[in-house]
C-alpha cells in the first residue's frame, strides 16, 4: 500500500511537471510566434434574429505553433494575460480585424461590425483609447464598425474603466459585455456604464432546453436587456430548438455553430458579398 501511494504521488508530480513545462513553453514562444506569423484571426458571423441578416463578426485569434501544433486560445490567452504578452496579441488581433473589415468593405461585402475581445489587462493599460484610435486610423475603418467585447472583470477592476468606456463610446465604438452573468459583479453597473449589448454566455445557451433554471436565467437576461434598451445576443447557439426558444423570448441577436463556425476571412467574403446589380 505504501509502495502504491508513493507511485501515485510520483505519477501525479510528473503530470504536474508536464503541465508546467507546457505552460512555460507556451509562454516563452508567444513572442516568436508573433514574429513568425503563426497567429491568425478567424471570424464568426453574428445575426439579427428578425431580419436574419449578418450584423457583425466576432474576431477570434488562432495559433498554429510550429512544434506544438494548434493551441486553443482558451489555453494560451490566460497564459498571455499572466505574462503580459496579451498586449501584443491583443494589438495584433485588433489591427488585423480592423484592416480585414475595411478590406471586406472595399471588396463590396455588405458592411457589418467587427467585435474584438479585449482582456482586462489590455483594457487597464493607460492608453487603450489611443491604441484603438491608431488601429482604426491605420486601417481607415470608421469607429462605428468596431465593437469591443469586454468582460465583467473590467468593470470590477479600475475606477478609470467608466471614463475609458465613455471616451470610446463618444468615438462611436460599440461596447458589449461578454459572458454576461458569469462574473460576480453587481447589476448596478449596467446603469452606470455606456454599454450597447449583453452577450449571453454559451453555458447558459447550451442548457436552455435541459435545465429549467438556465432557461429562467436566459429569459430574465433577455427581458432585462430589453427593458434597459440594450441589444442582447446569445452565443453558442447550436440547434434549431435553442434558436426557437430564444426567438420566442425575443432575444434579438445570435451567434453559434447552428449558423456558422468561426471562418477564414476568404470564406466570409464569399458568403456575404453583396449581389452585384447593374
Ligand atoms: P469567447 O469570447 O466566449 O468566444 C466564444 C468561443 O465559443 C469561441 O471559442 C468560439 O469559437 C466558440 N463558439 C462559438 N460558437 C459556438 C457554438 O455554437 N458552440 C460551441 N461549443 N462553441 C462555440 P475560441 O475561439 O476557442 O475562443 C475561446 C476564448 O478565448 C474566447 O471565448 C475568448 O475568451 C478567448 N479569445 C479568443 N480570441 C481572443 C482574442 O483575440 N483576445 C482575447 N483577449 N481573448 C480571445
Ligand atoms: Ca467573446
Ligand atoms: Ca463569450
Ligand atoms: Ca467565454
What was the pLDDT predicted at 7? 58
Residue 44 Cβ contacting ligand 1 at under 6 Å: yes
What was the pLDDT predicted at 183? 82
Distance in angstroms (rounded) separating the CA atoms of residues 118 and 150: 6
What was the pLDDT predicted at 259? 98
- State the residue for C-alpha cell 492608453: 127
Q: Which ligand is nearest to the CA of 119?
A: 1
Q: Which of the residues in the chain have pLDDT under 50?
A: 1-2, 278
pLDDT tens sequence across 131-184:
999 999 999 999 999 999 999 888 776 678 999 999 999 999 999 999 998 887
Distance in angstroms (rounded) separating the CA atoms of residues 119 and 90: 8
181 CA to middle of ligand 4, Å? 11
Pocket probe for ligand 1: among 118, 202, 253, 255, the residue whose CB has the most ligand atoms within 8 Å is 202
Q: Tell me how many degrees the CA angle 200-136-120 measures, rounded to the nearest 5.
A: 45
Whether this model's ipTM surpasses 0.90 comes out as yes
Residue 73 Cβ contacting ligand 1 at under 6 Å: yes
What was the pLDDT predicted at 278? 44
- State the residue for C-alpha cell 467574403: 269
Q: What's the whole-number average pLDDT of the chain?
A: 93
Nearest CA to ligand 1 atom 11: 262
What was the pLDDT predicted at 10? 63
What was the pLDDT predicted at 184? 74
Query: 178: phi > 0 → left, psi -120 to 50 → alpha, else beta; which?
Result: beta
What was the pLDDT predicted at 6? 55
**CB proximity list for 147: less than 8 A, separation 6 or greater:** 56, 113, 114, 115, 116, 173, 174, 175, 176, 196, 197
Nearest CA to ligand 1 atom 6: 236
199 CA to middle of ligand 2, Å? 8
Nearest CA to ligand 1 atom 20: 236
**CB proximity list for 60: less than 8 A, separation 6 or greater:** 41, 42, 43, 44, 73, 117, 262
Amino acid at each position: 500500500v505504501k509502495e502504491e501511494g508513493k507511485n501515485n504521488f510520483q505519477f501525479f508530480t510528473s503530470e504536474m511537471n508536464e503541465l508546467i513545462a507546457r505552460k512555460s513553453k507556451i509562454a516563452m514562444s508567444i513572442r516568436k510566434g508573433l514574429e513568425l506569423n503563426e497567429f491568425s484571426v478567424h471570424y464568426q458571423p453574428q445575426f439579427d434574429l428578425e431580419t436574419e441578416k449578418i450584423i457583425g463578426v466576432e474576431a477570434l485569434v488562432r495559433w498554429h505553433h510550429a512544434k506544438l501544433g494548434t493551441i486553443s486560445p482558451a489555453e494560451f490567452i490566460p497564459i498571455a494575460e499572466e505574462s503580459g504578452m496579451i498586449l501584443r496579441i491583443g494589438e495584433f488581433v485588433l489591427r488585423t480585424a480592423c484592416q480585414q473589415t475595411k478590406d471586406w468593405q472595399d471588396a463590396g461585402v455588405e458592411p457589418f461590425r467587427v467585435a474584438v475581445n479585449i482582456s482586462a489587462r489590455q483594457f487597464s493599460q493607460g492608453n487603450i483609447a489611443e491604441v484603438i484610435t491608431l488601429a482604426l486610423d491605420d486601417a481607415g475603418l470608421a469607429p462605428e464598425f468596431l465593437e469591443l467585447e469586454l468582460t465583467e472583470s473590467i468593470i470590477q477592476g479600475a475606477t478609470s474603466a467608466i471614463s475609458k468606456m465613455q471616451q470610446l463610446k463618444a468615438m462611436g465604438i460599440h461596447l458589449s459585455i461578454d459572458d454576461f452573468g458569469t462574473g460576480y459583479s453587481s447589476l448596478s453597473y449596467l446603469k452606470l456604464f455606456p454599454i450597447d449589448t449583453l452577450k449571453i454566455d454559451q453555458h447558459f445557451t447550451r442548457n436552455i432546453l435541459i435545465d429549467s433554471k438556465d432557461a429562467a436565467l436566459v429569459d430574465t437576461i433577455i427581458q432585462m436587456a430589453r427593458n434597459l434598451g440594450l441589444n442582447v445576443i446569445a452565443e453558442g447557439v447550436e440547434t434549431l430548438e435553442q434558436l426557437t426558444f430564444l426567438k420566442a423570448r425575443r432575444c434579438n441577436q445570435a451567434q453559434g455553430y447552428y449558423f456558422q463556425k468561426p471562418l477564414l476571412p476568404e470564406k466570409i467574403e464569399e458568403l456575404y458579398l453583396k449581389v452585384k446589380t447593374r
